[in-house]
Amino acid sequence: MNFTKRDLPKKSENLSDWYNKVILSAELVDHGPAKGTMIYRPYGFAIWELIQKELDRLIKEKGISNAYFPLFIPESLIKKEESHIKGFSPELAVVTIGGGEALEEKLVIRPTSETIIYEAYSRWIHSWRDLPLMINQWANVVRWEKRAYPFLRTTEFLWQEGHTAHGNHEESSALVLWAIKMYAQVYQELLALPGYLGRKSESEKFAGADLTLTYECLMPEGKVLQNGTSHDLGQNFSKTFDIKFQDQENKTDYVWQTSWGLSTRSIGGLIMTHGDDQGLILPPRLAPIQIIILPVKLEEKILGACRIIKESLERAGTRVKIDELETVTLGSKINTWELRGVPLRIEIGSKEVENKTVTMARRDTGEKLNFPIDQLVEKVSELLNQIQTNLYDRAEKFLQDNTKEVYTYDEFKKIMLGERGFVSAFWCESEQCEKMIKEETKASTRCLLLDAQEQQGLCIYCQKPAQHQWLFGQAY
């Protein structure tokens, strides 16, 4: 390992330094040789696999199939949709030489796949019988980040991107809403990350979309992390790429489209939200190892008992490991697995073997428990559920405590200069006010809540009439 727990700064004193060191010392990632890239080590990639597994299950339940499209996109395709290329052009990585020769047409390494997928859709869709066409892709994408931050902003990252085409707007609009609610479900039930579901402003929406829905979470230093977005593309791309279909009345129309994605950025939010001064704390449903078993001494009688315990837990569907390393002290092993965030630790020594008991420690609270071995499977299930719930409840309390409703710009600025967090404030929905607020406070509009009711108020900035309270925050 690159660090030990003694090397970790306190999370509350320097979140950025703590974050950078803990992801290396817990062996989640390593730095890639190219600037802005990172290597997913097995422990870190296992977390992504568990997220992927749940998302893939939900996506397939919806009747959406997986496919894969090329990494290289001809520049002419990227340029077809004007607002789309304008939004992505600063981040594009472009191939100009192939096989030692200058390419006739430059190739863009995919920053997102709308253009290359929709070129294919224009060839695949002809009739209402071809609709809906719903495809999901698991892929890597490249966006040239000027300031890399592992998991949160890297030149290359992993994600899923869904792309659907429909015969009417009602159907596509329902799919947009389904996707963002699916993301919220995964964040809340798997990652134990509460957040706000809402609509992006016109300036913050996805380039080329009519509407963008988002799930926004609050991190410990009061900054906001956008976690998953779903886009109503209307007929913008279908008109550009000539994706037409003949309906049941033999009339020709353009399809209505959606796109939506969730990335490995989610792991960054997970780490920052739940970790503490000792290292990671992983929610049980997302922990590659849910229980670590530590033999107090490497004696055969103790090791035998550990193996029996492991087998019984595995039969119950628990992810469990025994640490049998001979060259490491028990204290060092405890530190290592605390650092790596394993939810439960079982210690087995001679006393436990003789008394037919187990000693267990919770990673989230540090509480130690002792109970008969014949209650093990039941107790483990109960404790893992308690830890999952406790982590969510702690994060939810932090979210609510740091969401403030304000009515004056002075209050707004004071919060953004101090503890930050979410601020709920009236905004007239003028791009000029939005721009000035961001320039003066670094806070952007994060979303308008999906269930927001129309109200009467005054814009926090210009004092003109406003009909909605929007959530603002400083973003990563």
Q: Is 70 exceeded by the pLDDT of residue 334? A: yes
Length of the chain counted residue by residue = 476
Average pLDDT, the chain: 95
| pTM greater than the 0.85 cutoff | yes
Domain map of the chain by residue range?
A: 40-274, 289-383, 403-473
pLDDT, tens digit, 9 for 90 and up, residues 204-229: 999 889 999 999 999 999 999 999 99
pLDDT band at 5 (very low <50, low <70, confident <90, very high): low
How far apart CA 57 and CA 160 sit, in angstroms, is: 13
Mode of pairing for the β-strands spanning 256-263 and 224-234: antiparallel
Q: Encoding tokens for residue 360? A: 């267990």
Cis peptide leading into 132, omega within 30 of 0? yes
pLDDT, tens digit, 9 for 90 and up, residues 279-327: 999 999 999 999 999 999 999 999 999 999 999 999 999 999 999 999 9
How far apart CA 408 and CA 459 sit, in angstroms, is: 9
- Residues 183, 139, 173, CA angle at the centre, nearest 5°? 40
Backbone angles phi, psi at 473, to 5 degrees: -175, 165
Q: 403-473 falls under which CATH superfamily?
A: C-terminal domain of ProRS (3.30.110.30)
Q: Is 80 exceeded by the pLDDT of residue 72? A: yes
Report pLDDT for 428.
Answer: 97
Asked if 10 and 22 count as a contact pair (C-beta separation under 8 A), the reply is no
Question: What DSSP string describes 114-181?
Answer: HHHHHHHHHHH--BGGG-SEEEEEEEEEE---SS-BTTTB-SEEEEEEEEEEESSHHHHHHHHHHHHH
Kindly report the CATH number that applies to the domain delimited by 289-383.
3.40.50.800
- A 10 A CB-CB count for 420 gives 22
Which residues are within 8 A (CB) of 387 and not within 5 positions of it... i.e. 6 or more apart? 283, 284, 343, 344, 362, 363, 364
How far apart CA 76 and CA 56 sit, in angstroms, is: 32
How far apart CA 60 and CA 41 sit, in angstroms, is: 28
In the numeric block, the tokens 């004092």 are attached to 463
Q: 40-274 falls under which CATH superfamily?
A: Bira Bifunctional Protein; Domain 2 (3.30.930.10)
From the list 353, 350, 342, 351, the residue with the least C-alpha distance to 308 is 353
